[in-house]
Amino acid sequence: MKKLRPKFFKYQIKKLKLNLKYKLTKIDFRGYYSANNLGIAESGATGYEPCYNIVKYLKKCKPTANDSFLDLGSGKGCAQYYARKFAFSKIDGVELSKQLYDVSVQNAQIIGDQRIHMFNEDFVKFDKYNDYNFFFLYNPCFENAMQAVAKKIRASFDATKKRTVVIYNTAKFKDLFLNLGFKVLYNHKNDYILELK
């Protein structure tokens, strides 16, 4: 008999919570979609799975109203849902899939926080990195795309000289950031908070 791992139970609990949230509020963060299913595999994207609660990580960063938040590969907007609990001036997301973007816009309308905005773009080509200093990544892409993203975030720090924080869940390519001078503020298993200041 195959032994069930704690990660399996954690994932099942997440699914139950998201299904309940949808039933009660019509906010839809449910599901898992491969990049092939979404028609975006050629972009280097990995697909969609809703993030886990990131409030505990944001608390460690102590964001203020002078900070702005960008989720790269924002899917249905789950990270923005959690980030709205903090004083960010902007809470935005960039999502390549039109299918997921459309759901994220509907979710944002239900949530009703005027700080939340969505962009239906490729985050590798996105040109507004300088407008943000908090970035969230939930394993959204493969190495080549992540290398481009890490360089863009580093360039935005060099341009603005503002403290820059990257919350990177399932940080498969964290070394790309460390090689650019980011320091580890905190890590738990394979989740990392990296910063420049």
Q: Encode pLDDT of 24-41 as tens digits.
A: 999 999 999 899 989 888
User: How many domains does the chain contain in total?
Assistant: 1
125 three-state secondary structure: coil
Residue 100, domain member (yes or no): yes
Whether residue 166 is contained in a domain is answered as yes
Per the domain annotation, does 164 fall within a domain?
yes
- Kindly state whether residue 102 falls inside one of the protein's structural domains: yes
Which residue, 71, 116, 114, 76, is CA-closest to 94? Answer: 71
For residue 49, give the CATH number of its domain: 3.40.50.150
pLDDT in tens, 112-140: 999 999 999 999 999 999 999 999 999 99
Q: Is residue 188 part of a domain?
A: yes
pTM for the structure as a whole: 0.93
Domain that includes residue 178, residue range: 6-196
Task: Name beta bridge partners: 191.
Answer: 188
152 lies in some domain? yes
Residues 77, 107 contacting (CB under 8 angstroms)? yes
Joined together, the tokens standing for residue 1 give: 């008999």
Residue 1, domain member (yes or no) = no
Structural domain includes residue 137? yes
Per-residue pLDDT of the chain (197 residues), as tens digits, is 455 566 777 778 888 888 898 899 999 999 998 999 898 888 888 999 998 889 999 999 999 999 999 999 999 999 999 999 999 999 999 999 999 999 999 999 999 999 999 999 999 999 999 999 999 999 999 999 999 999 999 999 999 999 999 999 999 999 999 999 999 999 999 999 999 99
